[in-house]
């Protein structure tokens, strides 16, 4: 049996220990009983960002976006489709830079959309500009 991975629930943002070989089984949060993986990007706020990015042992891919941004809105379906393809190997999340300006400033977001990949709480890659589903998936798999 492998070492368990810490997976943070996308609903209550509490950590769960999941055996690595069971990640593909989906699973439920031990606290709120919600699915740990539902194939949709998780909305993050300043309050939930640290819990997801800082505690999860999965790579977290954060889309920094804004509702007024045409390329951001155009990329949203591709990002959601990438979440369905990449979970449970990675968690995809979104940060609305209009509502979370401090997070955008903290990470030096200069243009949107910008995708930032975090592993074990640290930034490991960044890509600015809208991408289609295949490009998102290919880029993220190249980082593994």
Q: Using N-to-C axis directions, what is the helix angle for 133-142 and 70-86, rounded to 10°? A: 60
Nearest to 87 by CA among 129, 130, 58: 58
Single out the catalytic residue among 9, 12, 29, 69. Answer: 69
User: What sign does the CA torsion over 58, 89, 127, 13 have?
Assistant: negative
Single out the catalytic residue among 9, 12, 29, 72. Answer: 72
Specify whether 9 is catalytic: no
**How far is the C-alpha of 16 from the C-alpha of 4, rounded, in Å?**
9
Nearest to 86 by CA among 135, 33, 28: 135
* Catalytic residue IDs: 69, 72
């Amino acid at each position: 049996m492998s070492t368990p991975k810490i997976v943070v629930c996308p609903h209550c943002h509490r950590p769960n220990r999941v055996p690595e070989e069971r990640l593909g089984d989906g699973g439920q949060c031990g606290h709120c009983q919600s699915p740990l993986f539902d194939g949709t990007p998780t909305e993050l706020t300043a309050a939930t960002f640290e819990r997801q990015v800082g505690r999860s042992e999965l790579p977290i891919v954060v889309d920094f976006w804004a509702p007024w941004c045409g390329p951001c809105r155009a990329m949203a379906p591709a990002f959601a489709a990438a979440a369905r393809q990449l979970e449970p190997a990675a968690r995809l999340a979104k940060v609305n830079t209009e509502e979370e300006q401090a997070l955008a400033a903290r990470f030096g977001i200069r243009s949107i959309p910008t995708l930032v990949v975090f592993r074990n709480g640290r930034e490991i890659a960044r890509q600015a500009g809208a991408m289609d589903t295949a490009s998102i998936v290919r880029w993220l798999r190249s980082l593994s």
